[in-house]
Amino acid sequence: MTGRRTAASSWRTTSLTAAAFQAFAKKQAPLLKKNITWAAQTQIGHWMGVIADWKKMLGSDWDKTYAASNTIYVARQNNMLFSVLAQFFGPDAINSRLILIETISFTSTPEDMLEALTRIIADRSVGAAFFGSYYLMDYELMGGDGRAAIIDESKKRGMTPCLPPAVAFGSHQWPTLITPGSGPASLADLP
């Protein structure tokens, strides 16, 4: 129920049934899909142009350039800006010079992004100095030992461990879900 204030400053109560809402949503869905398609095409076209211009401007220094894109959990799959950057940086730059930084905010300041990227690069030197692995610190430091402990503790409890595949330090795989699943994966896949 929602209340609506009239000109006479009295409140009148109105209601909306679930069936009426569903009918409205079903009518709007095709229009929303078109709007979303247009928005995606517009943003991708814009960012492809911006990055192409930056790459041209930097010339041979492009191969020394780092890029970071921020994302929140729900938006990291198919992150548009990171995906555009990957087209220009190439797959070998993923997780080395092209980094997806997960945040808890919808926005990050340039200072936030620079601080995160600086910490990642600095941590890599620490991993190399102490363990001989430049990319070790990009991963949960206790992850390997924690993984082994989960396997051992699960066995003690008669449980089957539920863990993702181990990924080598310095992997260039996408920093998002890459295993296929069943069901729709885009708005175009929905009826």
Crossing angle of helices 18-58 and 80-89, rounded to 10°: 30
Please give the share of the chain, as a percent, with pLDDT higher than 70: 94
CA 110 to chain CA centroid, nearest Å = 18
Query: CB-based contacts of 119: which residues, under 8 Å, 6+ apart?
Result: none
Ranking 101-105, 128-132, 145-149 by mean pLDDT, the lowest is 101-105
* Stronger pLDDT, 89 or 3, i.e. the higher one: 89
For the residues of 160-185, what is the DSSP string, one character each?
A: PP--PPP--TT--S-SS--S--SS--
**pLDDT tens digits, residue range 148-169?**
999 999 999 999 999 888 888 8
- Indicate the pLDDT class of residue 2, thresholds 50, 70 and 90: low
d(CA 86, CA 68): 11
Predicted pLDDT at 10: 65
Please give the share of the chain, as a percent, with pLDDT higher than 90: 57
What three-state secondary structure class fits 33?
helix
**pLDDT tens digits, residue range 27-55?**
999 999 999 999 999 999 999 999 999 99
Residue 171, both tokens = 């992997």
Predicted pLDDT at 8: 57
Residue 17, both tokens = 């049934």
Predicted pLDDT at 161: 93
- 85-120: b (≥16 Cβ within 10 Å) or e: bbebbeeebbbbbbbbbeeeeeebeeeebeebeeeb
pTM assigned to the model: 0.78
Identity of the highest mean pLDDT range in 98-102, 162-166, 168-172: 98-102
What three-state secondary structure class fits 60?
helix
User: Where would I find the beta strands (DSSP E) of the chain?
Assistant: 2-5, 11-14, 67-71, 98-102
* Stronger pLDDT, 88 or 164, i.e. the higher one: 88
Residue 42, both tokens = 């517009």
**pLDDT tens digits, residue range 112-143?**
999 999 999 999 999 999 999 998 888 877 88
Q: Does the pLDDT value for residue 4 go beyond 80? A: no
d(CA 191, CA 189): 7
Q: Does the pLDDT value for residue 7 go beyond 70? A: no
Predicted pLDDT at 73: 76
d(CA 57, CA 17): 57
What three-state secondary structure class fits 94?
strand
